[in-house]
Structure 1
Amino acid sequence: MTNIIISPSKYIQGKDEIHNVSKHTYFFGNKFLLLATENGIKRMKGIIEESFKGTDAKLTFETFNGECSRKEIQRIEKIVEEKGCDAVIGIGGGKTLDTAKAVAYYRKIPVVIIPTIASTDAPCSALSVIYTEKGEFSEYLILPKNPDIVLVDTAIIMKSPARFLIAGMGDALATYFEARASVRSNSDVMAGGKATKTAFAIAKLCYEILLSNGYKARIAAEKNVVTQAAQAVIEANTYLSGVGFESCGIAGAHSIHNGFTILHECHHLLHGEKVAFGTIAQLVLENSPIEEIEEVIHFCTQVGLPTTLEKMGISDVKEEELMKVAELACGEGETIHNMPFKVEPQDVYAAILIADELGRQYIK
């Protein structure tokens, strides 16, 4: 049996750390392509240029067109080739960062990831999600390695709307419970092979940090300030959850999230908001102790994550629609099959209903 753990080559986090980007990247070369949205370039260009001031670096700022598509990846590739860039620096949210990772992979050059929100664990992953030009899911691009550097400026993160940090907590919340289920079933993980004890310890630490710092971090996010609690949660959302899910596995919570994407009423929700409810449903599915389920519901309520179908936007619950959710969650290739027992759509349907009722009772 082979055990494997993967992670970024270097993870850097700190307040105003973007001012040190040249110090962290000089050894990659002196020609950099910086990919960001138009607004991102407006906000970051001056800071980054100041960081590289006094060096011989040549910076090419390119506006991301908004979709991580094959066409956009190829467009950026051509610019990298024409400019002879030594590395790609992606700045922004998930699709911008995934495009930067894909471009660097195809050009065989290093990639530096600078997330501007902490809403998911994607920045650290060896994965790009590819969409069509119309924004429809196309494919997963599995990369041979994680980013060379992930640089997280916590001051930038905390200037974004609080909802993003809270959604990130919802995504990170699932890490430990899905890791636990995957380890129990001895499933293969995205890193290849089986989970290491180190990765499982990281997944568990992720949950512990959320419980002890989540509510305090939410308040800090609402005030747009950086605190020790916020620093801890940003690390949990970004690094601990990223390494935890790739090197320990995902299971029921994310499959149930995928099921809910079929409902129009849930399209306004962020990824982590759906994953949070999926986590409660997974705990019901595996008949976890009521104390553990209540602990998770209490956490979600404290930080502002949905614990009922109504809070997810589903006010009129229809059996046939929830069964479609359950069937999609149990589709071929879904990670719910990493649970340590066989799961059928009827089981997921029941778990969703019970999770909803437990959430309602807690609110009462």
Structure 2
Amino acid sequence: MIIFGSPGRYIQGPGTLDRIGEEVGRLGKSAVLVADAVVDGLVGGRVAAGCDAAGVTLRKLAFGGEITPGEIDRLHGALGGERPEVVIAAGGGKCIDAGKGLAARLGAEVASLPTVASNDAPTSHVYVLYDEDHRLLRVDRLPRNPALVLVDTAVIVRAPRILFLAGIGDALVKSFEAAQCALSGGRNIFGSRPPQVGLVLADACYRCLRDHAAPALAAVDRGEPDEAVERVVEATVLWSGLAFENGGLSIVHSMTRGLSAVPALAGSLHGLQVAYALLVQCLLEERDPAFMDDLLAFYRGTGLPCGLADLGLEAPSDADYALIAELTLQAPHARNFDRDTAPGDLVRAMRFLDGRAGTLPRP
């Protein structure tokens, strides 16, 4: 059996924010906008105007900044018994996941309105919860993917470059994880054998980013959306989400459990964490030195992290390495790998990356 899941409707391009009222109106006549103060200042007025024009009653709730069970409790309590039909989750991955958590409580539809392209949270039906110290707590699920994903690339290019880079890192890894999930007989996020389209999308993601990441980053530096930006955003927000949910995950995303448990690494962006973890997985796969050199050159050219120091941990201790490895292999997706892996294998790979000298042969 195979299962394929996707958002109900995906709209991308400069100025698409002005469609928000019309699109939300297809889903319901009452909505709540979940956004932090910065994002509300950026898009809140246009959302309100669009909803008003479409006859959609809108209420706003301020996101507190961290996606924890307590934050979802707070947002739900702030509604005071109101049950809007649509949750518009605007901002980055944390706020969009908070909106998903609120929608799950309400039984409401989700409209994702990303203002950054830092990960593929806008398209997926899963949302990640952390504790108060930003250690990964658990992954919960909506009954279905967001009904609407609306991506205004004129807004996206005004966000900090590092967030765009994180999105590239998050999407880049999906080809390697989907391949390992398929090789090992693993299951995708929907609990089925991965459909072929998941693998195709994952591979397309990787090829698109290798071809277009550099010019897209240059366009972001200029603050001007262009064709490279459009291609990369489609890959990082849409294809990447479809790829991981349908193709499956492996060691790379499992490493976020370990990396987020080290205080110096916990605040680093998800996309940068998994980009680093891809190097670890490739070493575990025993990729040849030429492949690793090519991938490392791409990392260096774009600014993706090549070692733990690039993520904020300057001098990892033996205990740090051991903790990351142990928690990584406790994650369920770590089983989606085509060979047995022990904590010592991960430690050797991490140590090798931290001590690299221009090439990346086997650990």
Specify if TM > 0.5: yes
| Alignment-derived partner of residue 192 in structure 2 | 193
Q: Which amino acid aligns with 1:155?
A: A
Alignment check: 8 A CA contact 2:29 2:56 kept: yes
Any gaps of 5 or more consecutive residues in structure 2? none
SS of corresponding position for 2:236: helix
Deviations 1:135-171 (A, max 9, x none): 5544321222111111111111111100001011111
The farther-off stretch of 225-234 and 203-212 is 225-234
Shift of 1:124: 1.1
Q: Aligned pair in 2 of structure 1 residues 48, 66: CA closer, same or farther (>3 Å)?
A: same
Instruction: Single out whichever of 202-211 and 95-104 deviates more from structure 2.
Output: 95-104
Change (3 A) 1:18 1:268: same
Q: Percent identity?
A: 28
Kindly report the root-mean-square deviation, in angstroms, between the aligned alpha carbons of the 2 structures. Answer: 2.2
- Match of residue 117 from structure 1: 116
1:348 maps onto 2:346 in alignment: yes
- Which residue type is aligned with residue 3 of structure 2? I
- Residue 357 of structure 1 deviates from its aligned partner by 4.3
The match for 2:33 is 34
8 Å CA contact 2:96–2:122 kept in 1: the answer is yes
What letter is aligned with 1:40?
V
Secondary structure (helix, strand or coil) at the match of 2:150 reads strand
CA positional deviation for 1:91: 0.8
Q: 1:68 is matched with which residue? A: 67
User: Could you say which residue in structure 2 is the equivalent of 1:208?
Assistant: 207
Worse overlay, 218-227 or 263-272: 263-272
Unaligned runs of 5+ in 1: none
Number of equivalenced pairs: 360
Question: How many Å separate the matches in 2 of 1:57 and 1:168?
Answer: 32
TM-superposition CA deviations, 1:277-299 (whole Å, max 9, x none): 21011111011232322222121
Matched, 1:171 2:170: yes
Does the 8 A contact of 2:21 with 2:53 survive in 1? no
Amino acid corresponding to residue 190 of structure 1 in structure 2: I
Q: Which secondary structure does the structure 2 equivalent of 1:103 belong to?
A: helix
Contact 1:308–1:360 (Cα < 8 Å) also in 2: no
Distance in 2 between the 1:7 and 1:278 partners?
A: 26
| 2:213 partner letter | G
> SS of the counterpart of 1:277?
helix
What secondary structure is seen at the aligned counterpart in 1 of 2:149?
strand
Q: Secondary structure at the match of 1:330?
A: helix
**What does the per-residue CA deviation read over 1:234-268, in whole Å, with 9 as the maximum and x for residues that have no partner?**
11111111111111111111223432333333245
Q: Is the counterpart of residue 292 in structure 1 residue 258 in structure 2?
A: no
CA deviation after TM superposition for structure 1 residue 118, in Å: 1.1
Against the structure 1 CA distance between its residues 131 and 318, is the aligned structure 2 distance closer, same or farther, given a 3 Å change threshold?
A: closer
For 1:137 and 1:252, the matched residues in 2 are separated by 16
User: In structure 1, what is the Cα distance between the partners aligned to 2:316 and 2:52?
Assistant: 58
SS of equivalent to 1:282: helix
Distance 1:173 1:215 in 2: 13
Q: Tell me which of 332, 335, 338 is aligned to 1:337.
A: 335
In 2, are the aligned partners of 1:284 and 1:354 still within 8 Å (CA)? no
* Counterpart for residue 149 of structure 2: 150
| TM-score normalised per structure 2 | 0.92
Whole-angstrom CA distance in 2 between matches of 1:187 and 1:359:
35
Q: 1:88 to 1:257 in 2, by over 3 A?
A: closer
* Cα contact 2:289–2:359 (8 A) shared by 1: no
Secondary structure of the 1:28 match is coil
Q: How does 1:100-115 map to 2 (within 5 A)?
A: 100-115=99-114
Inter-CA distance 29–259: structure 2 relative to 1 (3 Å threshold): closer
Aligned partner letter, 2:226? T
Q: How does 1:242-253 map to 2 (within 5 A)?
A: 242-253=241-252
* Correspondences of 1:199-348 after superposition (within 5 Å): 199-331=198-330, 333-348=331-346
Q: Aligned partners of 1:68 and 1:308: how far apart in 2?
A: 27
1:49-83 CA distance string (max 9 Å, x none): 33235433222122222333334334433555744
Moved more, 187-196 or 260-269: 260-269
Alignment-mate amino acid for residue 145 of structure 2: N
Which SS does the other structure have where 1:65 is aligned? coil
Which whole-Å deviations, capped at 9, do the CAs of 1:114-136 have from their partners, x for residues lacking one?
01111111111111223446655
Rounded Cα–Cα distance in structure 2 between residues aligned with 1:72 and 1:321? 29
**SS of structure 2 residue aligned to 1:7:** coil
- Deviation string, structure 1 residues 324-364 (Cα, Å, up to 9, x no partner): 32222222x342221111100111112223334446448xx
SS at match of 1:307: coil
* CA gap 1:88/1:283 in 2 versus in 1, 3 angstroms: same
1:15-65 per-position Cα deviation (integer Å, ceiling 9, x unaligned) = 111111112121222221111112222222221233235433222122222
